[in-house]
């Protein structure tokens, strides 16, 4: 069976751990807080909707490896240890993901003043892969963090090295890499990774969502089952994104067949945010593979349509109003001849003869056949 045959879904601790100034606050990352988020995924229906990976990102590590050279959880924040946490999370029916880097320094050490020594996997690839496998890890996020500058590493070689160490464990571990689109990973990563970041970090602001979207334009030929373009984790429910901005962001990631990794505080989530994250119709678009991810098919200044063919022959299209004015679309001008149309959010049919008006910073997701 292909690992990550459909875009992986889950929750990742990184965006959750950021404060209002987008700086990491590691005091938020404790075994108690992670377990509470895991429990929330079960209770609020996210697990049932398909979000089955819980990924512990940077900042869980103790300041030093142990005497055997193994990574450990932070001694005060993860007192029971990472393996015990993994068992508890998995007992809830979730899968567990973890974070490391190919060089010597993690990103948190470089950008968030995380005081630690020797956390990177450089020279420890086999030890770390074996630890992850033993602990029951199902997913590894392996993050570049300037390893070309710090350690003189070649990205393709360094990412391949960990892929081989993971394979050698004999366990099915989803391999998610990130080099922020710096080294054209879409050209080489599909061969030995399950997903690769295509851009630098996405922030919970509309301009960042639009900027990240623009960088996806030419990448549609590279995704396939088991190997996905990753425009970064969802910011749905974070920052000051409005309801329609959050929903548009989610629609767009769905037509791109993006991995759907939430990162909001699930204990403080509004009903509106949850209604976006677990919308079955939108998730079904993301998880549908017809042979090609969605792409930009109509582009008129701030009016865009990102669209993908669905496996049943229908078409899912996001009509997007990027700017501060509403946009009007003629469905047939954009899509040619169509039979019927349905608004995925409401489930209502749409009159194909009527013009579609989309409010500013908003989008409509329409399925046509």
When asked if residue 159 is in the footprint of ligand GLA (CB under 6 A), the reply is no
Q: Kindly determine how many residues on this chain lie close enough to bind ligand GLA according to the rule CB under 6 A.
A: 9
Assess contact for 362 and 210: CB atoms under 8 A.
Answer: no
- Spatial separation of the C-alpha atoms in residues 17 and 40, rounded to whole Å: 16
Assess contact for 87 and 136: CB atoms under 8 A.
Answer: yes
Whether 201 is catalytic: yes
- Spatial separation of the C-alpha atoms in residues 202 and 258, rounded to whole Å: 13
Binding residues among 33-72 for ligand GLA as defined by CB under 6 A: 57-58
Shortest approach of ligand GLA to residue 16 CB, angstroms?
A: 11
Which CB, 31 or 57, lies closer to ligand GLA? 57
* x/- track of binding to ligand GLA for residues 193-212 (CB under 6 A): --------x-----------
**Nearest alpha-carbon partner for 26 in 66, 80, 77:** 77
Segment 154-159 long-range contacts (CB within 8 Å, at least 24 positions apart): 155/102, 155/179, 155/182, 155/183, 155/185, 156/183, 156/185, 156/188, 158/102, 158/103, 158/122, 159/102, 159/185, 159/189, 159/192, 159/193
Shortest approach of ligand GLA to residue 113 CB, angstroms?
A: 11
- Per CB under 6 A, the list member of 31, 125, 138, 143 interacting with ligand GLA is 143
Shortest approach of ligand GLA to residue 108 CB, angstroms?
A: 4
Binding residues among 214-243 for ligand GLA as defined by CB under 6 A: none
- Spatial separation of the C-alpha atoms in residues 359 and 127, rounded to whole Å: 53
Which CB, 201 or 288, lies closer to ligand GLA? 201
| From 57, 138, 143, 288, the catalytic residue | 143
Cβ contacts of 337 within 8 Å, gap of 6 or more: none
Residue nearest to ligand GLA (CB): 107
Binding residues among 279-308 for ligand GLA as defined by CB under 6 A: none
| From 57, 58, 138, 201, the catalytic residue | 201
Provide the β-strand partners of residue 358: 327
- Spatial separation of the C-alpha atoms in residues 362 and 351, rounded to whole Å: 20
Angle made by CA atoms 157, 234, 268, in degrees to the nearest 5: 135
* x/- track of binding to ligand GLA for residues 73-112 (CB under 6 A): ---------------------------------xxx----
Shortest approach of ligand GLA to residue 58 CB, angstroms?
A: 3
Residue 299, CB half-sphere, CA atoms under 13 Å: how many? 6
DSSP 8-class letter at 22: S
- Per CB under 6 A, the list member of 11, 14, 96, 132 interacting with ligand GLA is 14
Whether 143 is catalytic: yes
Shortest approach of ligand GLA to residue 107 CB, angstroms?
A: 3
Shortest approach of ligand GLA to residue 34 CB, angstroms?
A: 15
Residues known to be catalytic:
143, 201
Residues near ligand GLA, by CB under 6 A: 14, 57-58, 106-108, 143, 178, 201
């Amino acid at each position: 069976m292909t690992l990550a045959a459909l875009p992986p879904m889950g929750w990742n601790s990184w965006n959750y751990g950021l404060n209002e100034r987008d700086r990491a606050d590691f005091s938020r990352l404790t075994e108690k807080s992670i377990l509470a988020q895991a429990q929330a995924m079960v209770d609020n229906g996210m697990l049932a909707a398909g979000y089955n990976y819980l990924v512990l990102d940077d900042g869980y590590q103790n300041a030093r490896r142990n005497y055997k050279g193994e990574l450990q959880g932070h001694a005060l924040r993860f007192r029971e240890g990472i393996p015990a946490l993994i068992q508890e999370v998995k007992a809830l029916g979730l899968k567990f993901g973890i974070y490391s880097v190919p060089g010597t320094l993690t990103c948190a050490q470089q950008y968030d003043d995380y005081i630690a020594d020797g956390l990177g996997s450089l020279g420890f690839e086999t030890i770390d892969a074996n630890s992850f496998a033993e602990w029951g890890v199902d997913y590894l996020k392996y993050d570049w963090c300037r390893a070309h500058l710090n350690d003189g590493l070649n990205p393709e070689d360094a990412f391949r090295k960990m892929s081989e160490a993971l394979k050698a464990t004999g366990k099915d571990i989803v391999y998610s890499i990130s080099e922020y689109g710096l080294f054209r990973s879409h050209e080489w990563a599909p061969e030995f990774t399950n997903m690769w970041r295509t851009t630098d970090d996405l922030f919970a602001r509309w301009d960042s969502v639009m900027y990240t979207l623009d960088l996806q334009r030419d990448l549609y030929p590279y995704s396939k089952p088991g190997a996905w373009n990753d425009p970064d984790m969802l910011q749905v429910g974070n920052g000051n994104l409005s309801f329609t901005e959050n929903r548009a962001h989610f629609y767009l990631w769905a037509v791109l067949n993006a991995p759907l990794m939430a990162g909001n505080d699930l204990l403080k989530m509004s009903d509106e945010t949850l209604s976006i994250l677990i919308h079955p119709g939108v998730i079904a678009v993301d998880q549908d593979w017809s042979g090609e991810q969605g792409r930009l098919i109509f582009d008129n200044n701030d009016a865009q349509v990102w669209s993908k063919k669905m496996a049943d022959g229908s078409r899912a299209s996001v009509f997007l109003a990027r700017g501060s004015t509403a946009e009007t679309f003629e469905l047939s001008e954009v899509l040619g001849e169509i039979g019927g149309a349905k608004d995925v959010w409401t489930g209502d049919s749409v009159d194909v003869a009527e013009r579609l008006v989309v409010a500013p910073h908003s989008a409509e997701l329409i399925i046509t056949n």
